[in-house]
Each structure stands twice: as structure tokens, then as C-alpha cells.
Structure 1
Amino acid sequence: MARIINQVAVFGLGKVGELVADLLGESGFKVVGYDAAPRDDLAFEVKALDVRDAAGLRESLRAVDAVVSCLPFHLNIDVAEAAHDAKVHYFDLTEDVPTTNRVIELASDQATTAFAPQCGLAPGLIGIIGASIAKTFDELRSIELKVGALPQNPTGLLGYAINWSPEGVVNEYLNDCEVLRQGHRQMVPAMTEKERVLIAGIELEAALTSGGLGTMCETYEGRVSRLDYKTLRYPGHFDQMHFLFDELNLRERRDLVGQMLVDSKPPVNDDVVYIHAAVEGVKTGKPFRENHVRAYKPLDISGRTWRAISWTTAASAVSVVELVADGTLPAAGFIKQEDITLEALFSTQAGRHFAEQGKV
């Protein structure tokens, strides 16, 4: 069957967007990249665009079938609305709840194309993993999802490096978290319910953070007693962040905290992405807990070594594009990440990296 997506625009050619474009090319799509400044060092066509220019934004979508937004979350609504008007398929990496709510509205407004936000790691891959495991249970009690993007060789009290958006990190630490408790949706403070986690002998800590579940609380309300998402860090990290936000009274100065983190904990190349999904319930008539644990490290793709956070995020997003293009996922309306199976993701050109890497 012929693909329904052949030409794809990628907005934002930063840490992840450039690799999204490369992986789309490897998967057989024709790609055009858009960024604030033109670039001539890439293997695909790149054009300069200010996405705040509504007319220019819509013009950029006239010749493509789909758009993948790798922009900061506050710019995604403009792109989604332009995609709706242009009748092109829409994908993004956001974890911002208001952004996703607007995308859902657009998808329900006589949309003739697919709208698939939250295609990164969390929300995104971790929800696909958790939901795929949950489908194998007869009865569900809990779904616990955890992700951590960390330096392999940490230093200092924070044990951290900003390999991802500082704005996103601060938001997930401060915004309230949606969870399921006793089967009902609740909002609880971030950086609470801390617990100890061991992965391949590495001691970590996990605490609730916002945005990682996407639409899963709505999907599983009344079906699962407990559902939550936590971020993994090295021991002591969250105590230091509480000191920063609370004792130094910086909760209302998010931009300042983000800049401080970038200055003090710049990116590293030797990073690792930890994935920990656990589902409890009844399987074949007996209580059971199933764990899916991975540790993804930097990977060579097309002759270049990419950080773990970059390739895992990019490969997840491109996998979803492939699944829509090939007809595995619906061609119109809103697509929840938890409706995607891990088996389908592994079957894609980009998703094969997850099947081949990360075993602990």
C-alpha cells in the first residue's frame, strides 16, 4: 500500500530536530527543514522561517504532507493550528498539557489528518511501553513509569547535565502532576513521593514530575488503581532542587533557574537514558509484576555519534510518523501514544534502534 505521507517538514533543527530530519530521510521520506537561521551543512534542504509569521508558516506547509515540530513547547500551538488549516499531519514532542489540549481540540474539529503530539520519550515512548505491557494482563492494579536522562559519569551534588531543554526541566519540577490514586485522577505536587531505584547496579532516585503521562490518566481512569510518572535522578538531586526552589525562593523565577542550570551543568556527550516501566496486576490467574528496564547510551547513526537523549527522542517521533504513513495508525484525528503498540514501534525503520539497544 502506498504511503499517505511522503514529504515532511521539520521545524526546529536543534539537538533533536536535525536527527529527526535525518531519520525521516533514512526511512524514505523527502524532508525539508525549517529553522530561524538558514543552514547549508545538512544533507536535506533547509529554509529560514520565523514560525511566529503566520503567513510564512502556512506557506511552508503547502508542499508537504506532514510536519514534525521540534520547537520549544510555547511555539507548538501556532504550528498545530497552521497544520490544521493546511490539512497536513501533525506531530510534536511536547509534554505541555495546555498545548496538547489545544491539539486535541484541533483534532476534533473536522480534522481530515492525524494529530499526534507527545511523540518523544515522556510522554511518548514510556507510555507506549507501559500500555503495551498492560495489555498482557487480565486485571490491572498499577502502572509505574520512570525515565531519566543523565550523565553516565556524574559530578557534584546535583549529578546532572542539561542535555535537554532547561525550560522543560524546570517546568516538570514545578508544575503539579496528574496521577491516578484509587482509580481517580488527582493533581499532586511535583518532586514528591521519592523512592529508591536500582538499574544494573546503579542507584538512582525517582520523584513525581509533571507532563510525562500525556493522556494516560484519562485513558486508564477507573481501570487502574495507581498510575504515575516519575523522573529518575542520582541520589540527592531532588534535595538540592528543593533547596534551590524553596529555601532560595526561586519558584517564581523559572528563567533564572534554567539559566543557572545551563551555566553550572552544561551538556555532556557521555549521557544515558534510563527507562523503567512496571505493571502489576493479575496474569493467568495469579498476581504478577512485569518490568521493562533499559539503559540507552549514545549511538552511531549515519556516521555520527548522537547523544542518548537525542536519538531516543528522535527515533520515537519518527517511528510514529512511519506508522501513520504506512496505515498502521489512523490517518485522521487525535492519536494517543498509549494506543500505539511496542511491537508496531519496533517494526519501523527508526524504531528498530530500541529493539537492538539498551538491554541491561
Structure 2
Amino acid sequence: MTRSINEVRVVGLGKVGELVATLLADSGFSVTAYDARERSDLPFATKSLDVRDARALRDALTDADAVVSCLPFNLNLGVAEAAFEVGVHYFDLTEDVPTTNRVLELSAQNPSHVMAPQCGLAPGLIGIIGSSLTKKFTDIRSIELKVGALPRHPSGLLGYAFNWSSEGVVNEYLNDCEVLRSGHRQMVPAMTEHERVVIGGIELEASLTSGGLGTMCETYEGRAQRLDYKTMRYPGHFELMRFFFDELGLRERRELAGEILVNAKPPTNDDVVYLHAAVEGVQNGQLFRENYVRAYQPLDINGRSWRAISWTTAASAVAVVELVAEGRLPQSGFIKQEDIPFEALLSTKNGVRFAEEGKV
């Protein structure tokens, strides 16, 4: 099959970016990866790059078909604008709403190439799954989406480890959350609407956090009565986080908050990603609830063990690139994650991992 994408640039070689580049190379793409520091230990071409240098960034994308940005949320926009100017397909993993809004603006100005932000886990995979469940309903009462990336063997009262960007975690805990209530979009405070969740006998708690829905509120406004995204943690976590941010006065000192939290709860390789999507509504003339629940563990890829949060994020993003390359998704314009068919994603080389792993 002739692909529309062959040459791919990956920008950012953190734990997720390194695996994104690895999976793309394994899937037959020609990969060149860029990072701020030199890397010579990887099975694909690498170069150093200062992503804040707009000209150097544009030069790096010249002759590419696509770029996948695996940078922190505050650096993605520069890559998106460079991709727009050079004219290459753009993919990222961001949960940042202003970044996504700007990508949407760029796509509207010149929809000649694909602009597909939010290709990670949440937003990303969880929205694809939730949207797929709605197809079985003639009337949608609620869409409930939840993800928890946690240590399998937690210690301490917080029961957490920062296997993901501390800046991203702090933002999702503090930024207001877009939801649907009575069919209409509205903003509500994060770390509210607390509930108990049990997955495979493991008791968790869930509260509203920002960014996990991507563009879904706009898509489902007027179609679903209720829609929200919640983050799952071990019991007691959110009460302690509210104390940390509010009573210790760290709500307005986000950078310091992130430093303290990572120092207290550093990353661990022994993690688990819990995923819970549920839709309620009318199915075959009757009120019904459909659930999709998974618990993803670390996975061996090419003889190396990868954290659950790393491989689930990377595999979802690369599966979307595969679908565009194979012509199974639009070849231009803005792609919403909820418009990606879950069955199509599961049929890709990397998406099939989600069908094979994580059953509870």
C-alpha cells in the first residue's frame, strides 16, 4: 500500500517521545528525531535542536511529510506553527486547551494538511473509546470518561508517583474544567464532583480535572445531557491535594508546587493505567449503560520494558499517524479525536496493543 506519510520528524525525546519514534520506525516510517541534547544511543536518526529557534525548527521540518510533537505543553505551539508554515501534517499529545485552540485556528486558515492535536491518552484514546460507545445509543444521557495513571504499589498518603509531566498534573488539578450539564457547555472547578470507583477489586476515587475531553464538549453539546472527564487516584489523594494547593498557598505558585511534588513522589517504572469509559442512554428502546474498562501494565517492546503511561500514550499517537498515512482518516484539516473510529485504531500495528492488553 502506498502511504501518504513516509518521512516523519519527532520533536522531543523524553520517555514518551523516544517510544513514539521507536514505534514509528518499527512501523516502517523513516524517522528523524530532535531533542535539546545529543542522542547517539537510539535506533533511528537523531539531531540536536533548540525548539525556540523558529528558523531552525522550520529547517528541521523541511522535506518531511509529518511531525509529531512530544514536547511539554508550553512548547507545542511553536512546532504547530512551524508545521503550518512549512506545510506538513502535525500531530501532538497536548492536553493544553489554548494550544489546541490555536492549532484549530491554523487549520481553518489553510486546511491543506492534517492538524491533529491531543493524540495521547487523555485527551486522545479515552475520547475515541467514549465516542465509539455512543454509536450504540439513539439517545445519550451521559458520557463519563476517567483515566488514572498510578503506581501499582503506592507508598505514603498521596499514593502517587510523577510518571508524567508535573506541570501537566498541576494544570489539570487547578484549571477549570469544561463539561456538559443539561446538554450545555459550562466551566466548573477542578477537583470537584468526587466519586468512588472500583476496577478489578481496586478501590479508587475520581474527581473532575481539566483538559481530558479535548474538543468533545463542542462535539456533543445538544447531543448528550451530561459529559465530563475525571482523573482517578487512590482514596484520599484529592483531599490532600486540596490542602496542598489551598491551605499551603501554592495555587498561585505552580512551578514551585511541581518541584515539591516531584521531589516528594519521583517516577517509578512499576505503574498501571486505569481507563474507564461509560455511556448511558437509550439502546434498543431501553435505558442502558455501556462500560469499557481496562488496566494497562508495563509492556515489553523490542526487549525493553516501557511504563504503562509511556506505551499507552505513544501507541495511541502512532496509531493515529498510521491511519492518516494509510488514507483511513482525512488527509487535510483538523482531526478531532472523537471522530477517529476505535475499531480502525485497533486494526493498526500499534493500536492492536489496546485490544490485546489490559482486560480486567
Q: Same fold (TM over 0.5)?
A: yes
Deviation of 1:63 (Å): 2.0
Pairing 1:316-335 to 2, within 5 Å after superposition = 316-335=316-335
Deviation of 1:136 (Å): 1.2
Note if 1:37 corresponds to 2:48: no
TM-score (norm 1): 0.99
Letter in 2 for 1:148: G
Pairing 1:1-360 to 2, within 5 Å after superposition = 1-360=1-360
Judge conservation of contact 1:84–1:111 (CA < 8 Å) in 2: no
Deviation of 1:38 (Å): 1.1
Deviations 1:113-151 (A, max 9, x none): 100000000000000000000011111110000000000
Percent identical among aligned pairs is 73
Cα distance between partner residues in 1 of 2:94 and 2:177? 15
Deviations 1:197-255 (A, max 9, x none): 00000000000000000000000000100000000000000000000011111100101
Deviation of 1:67 (Å): 0.2
Cα distance between partner residues in 1 of 2:88 and 2:112? 8
Cα distance between partner residues in 1 of 2:76 and 2:105? 14
Deviations 1:18-65 (A, max 9, x none): 000000011110100000011100000100000111110000011210
Deviation of 1:11 (Å): 0.3
Cα distance between partner residues in 1 of 2:154 and 2:160? 6
Judge conservation of contact 1:121–1:312 (CA < 8 Å) in 2: yes
The CA RMSD measured in Å over matched residues stands at 0.5
SS at match of 2:84: helix
Deviations 1:249-270 (A, max 9, x none): 1100101110111101000111
Cα distance between partner residues in 2 of 1:339 and 1:111? 17
Cα distance between partner residues in 1 of 2:274 and 2:257? 24
Gaps of 5+ in 2: none
Cα distance between partner residues in 1 of 2:44 and 2:264? 34
Cα distance between partner residues in 2 of 1:38 and 1:106? 31
Judge conservation of contact 1:280–1:288 (CA < 8 Å) in 2: yes
SS at match of 1:275: strand
Cα distance between partner residues in 2 of 1:223 and 1:50? 44
Cα distance between partner residues in 1 of 2:233 and 2:52? 35
Letter in 1 for 2:357: Q
SS at match of 2:262: helix
Cα distance between partner residues in 2 of 1:6 and 1:136? 36
Letter in 2 for 1:173: Y
Judge conservation of contact 1:178–1:187 (CA < 8 Å) in 2: yes
Judge conservation of contact 1:87–1:111 (CA < 8 Å) in 2: no
TM-score (norm 2): 0.99
Deviation of 1:2 (Å): 1.1
Cα distance between partner residues in 1 of 2:74 and 2:168? 11
SS at match of 1:225: strand
Cα distance between partner residues in 1 of 2:178 and 2:76? 21
Cα distance between partner residues in 2 of 1:32 and 1:111? 25
Cα distance between partner residues in 2 of 1:228 and 1:176? 12
Letter in 1 for 2:221: E
Judge conservation of contact 1:35–1:47 (CA < 8 Å) in 2: yes
Deviations 1:272-292 (A, max 9, x none): 000000000011111100000
SS at match of 1:287: strand
Cα distance between partner residues in 2 of 1:132 and 1:242? 34
Deviation of 1:162 (Å): 0.2
Gaps of 5+ in 1: none
